Amino acid sequence: MPGLGSKLILAAVLLASLLVRLYRIDTPIAGWRQADTAAIARNFHQNGYMFFYPQIDWGGDTPGYVETECPLYPFAVSILYALLGDSEVWGRLLTALFALVSIYTTYLLVRQWVDESTGLWSAIFFAVLPRNTYYGRAFMPEAALLMCALLGIYFFSTWLRGEKPRHFYLSALFVAFAGLIKLPILYIGLPLLFLAWLKYQRRLLRIPALWLFALLVLLPVAAWYYHAHQTFQRFGLTFGIWQYGSDKWGNWDLVLTGAYWYKVLIRNIAENHLAWIGFPLFLWGLFLKRRTTQEMVLDVWLLAGLVYLIIVGQGNYVHEYYQLPLMIPVAAFMGKVYARYMKRGLVEDKRSLALALSFLALTAVSLARYVSGLEREAQEVASERELVRQVREETDEQTLFVFLFDGDPTLQYHCQRKGWQLGAVEVTRRELLDRIERGARYVLGSYRAMEGDSGRQELESRLPVPFQLRFDDGTHFLLRLEVE
């Protein structure tokens, strides 16, 4: 059982983590991933809570049913909308709650595998890492993913110790939830398999409960993704979850380049996730001597993460949040260093003093990046406020738009209008005519996406109908199409 001191420290960490995540909790949605997730939640709330048919805003004149991961998070947010009112704050608060559960579960899990002190330090580092902090309050399913993965592994490890049925079924439930939220997270099957092997050794494949566990996890996951693909076959809209070799995964040529590993390991993990300061601490912990065989589950977890980086190449190359699950074992390796070498006599022990200063520096950098990032997002959304106001006043919810932002639906989400997202530079006269015939009455674009004013002039030359310029602030433009 944890001592009183550990309980108080952990409670303080959780309270501080919550307070940090409450900062600017009402910041408007920014970023394509948050905008798409928030749009799905809003469409659930407005269109009847059809769980099996998540809807996006860029489906044009279609219902917008899209092939995507299981929408557990946006659906839960939509329920909060029904109970508490339509505000993105509830989605961010739900994310923050998931993040707190993840911090606490990290403590429980590492304490179970290593010791009390390592578990506590691991939870602390998991709480303060820069991108964990940001995505621990973002309107995205990543915090739910981490929570489900952690709870799934924790209950599995606990079940192996006592074989209580409730732990078995809770583990299967949360691992299945994790796979439903994001399929590649099933690489955590490797540390689960290692834990099972530690107990059952050569009898591993002859344990009926393990086969049942696999069925309980894989059947609902397979059923959802089969259904999602049927949705794509019928409606033609997708987030690209099955585009092998051309989207998120199976990009072997990319993975075999030095640029890929530099971007993922150095720019994303060392710089963004660990703020440089945490990277040598992680490497130090990685090379510490293992004291027990069970402790090696962290190595297996990290190795499984390496396999994940290889398979899901494009996703990890483009999106830094794809590496968030790796921060669980990374935080544990950092925790090992502090648990073994951090002493109370900081003045007398120079190594402890250096570790304390490193931790303070990491925390300060994390907070500074977090605050500056939120301030930047707020400024970006504020700069679009006048355009959003005009769109809402001039058009009704049935008016269809052509949006030229190269795939970023953030402004579309704030305008609360449906339409088509087209590649701004590649858009052709034929494509524009097709959208106009299908009901498009406005074109809303970004000068950045159009490569400046010359790009907008090129767009205007391709428009097959007369138009009227309704808004131009040097950053965005709004054209009303004069269609009879």
pLDDT digits (tens, 9 = 90+) for 386-419: 999 999 999 999 999 999 987 789 999 999 999 9
Q: Show which of 340, 374, 408 is a domain's final residue.
A: 374
Percent of the chain with pLDDT over 90: 79
Whether residue 91 is found in the same domain as residue 232: yes
CA angle 391, 392, 395 (to 5 degrees): 75
Enter the tokens of residue 57: 């805003």
Of residues 4 and 289, more confidently modeled: 289
How confident is residue 1, by pLDDT bands cut at 50, 70 and 90? very low
Instruction: Tell me: do 267 and 134 sit in the same domain.
Output: yes
278 with 416, same domain: the answer is no
| Dist. CA 362–CA 342, nearest whole Å | 16
Same structural domain for residues 57 and 202?
yes
- 328 shares a domain with 394: no
- The pLDDT mean for the chain works out to 92
Same-domain check for residues 322 and 415:
no
Choose the weakest-confidence range: 156-165, 208-217, 243-252: 243-252
Are residues 343 and 198 part of one domain? yes
Domain assignment present for 43:
yes
**Number of domains the chain contains:** 2
Is 197 in the same domain as 173?
A: yes
Report pLDDT for 250: 75
Distance CA(206)–CA(196), nearest Å, equals 12
Reported confidence tier of residue 444, pLDDT bands at 50, 70, 90: very high
- The answer to whether residue 348 scores a pLDDT higher than 70 is no
Give exposure, 103-141, as e/b (b: 16+ Cβ within 10 Å). bbbbbbbbbebbbbbbbbbbbbbbbbbbbbbbbbbbbbb
Residues 14-35 pLDDT 10s:
999 999 999 999 988 988 899 9
- On the question of pLDDT at 284 being above 50, the answer is yes
pLDDT at 31: 85
Position 128 pLDDT exceeds 90: yes
Residue 185 pLDDT class (50, 70, 90 cuts): very high
Question: Could you tell me if 355 and 412 lie in one domain?
Answer: no
Q: What is the mean pLDDT of residues 161-177?
A: 95
Do 332 and 474 belong together in one domain?
A: no
- Asked whether residue 266 is domain-assigned, the answer is yes
In whole angstroms, give the CA distance from residue 449 to residue 446.
Answer: 5
- Residue pair 410/38 in contact (Cβ under 8 Å)? The answer is no
Question: What is the predicted pLDDT for the residue at 245?
Answer: 57
Is 269 found in the same domain as 389? no
Enclosing domain of residue 450: 385-481
pLDDT value for 3: 66
- 358 and 412 co-located in one domain: no
Q: Is residue 379 part of a domain?
A: no
The dihedral built from the CA positions of residue 71, 27, 99 and 125, taken in this order, carries a sign that is positive
Q: Which residues contact 135 (CB under 8 A, 6 or more apart)?
A: 95, 142, 143, 321, 324
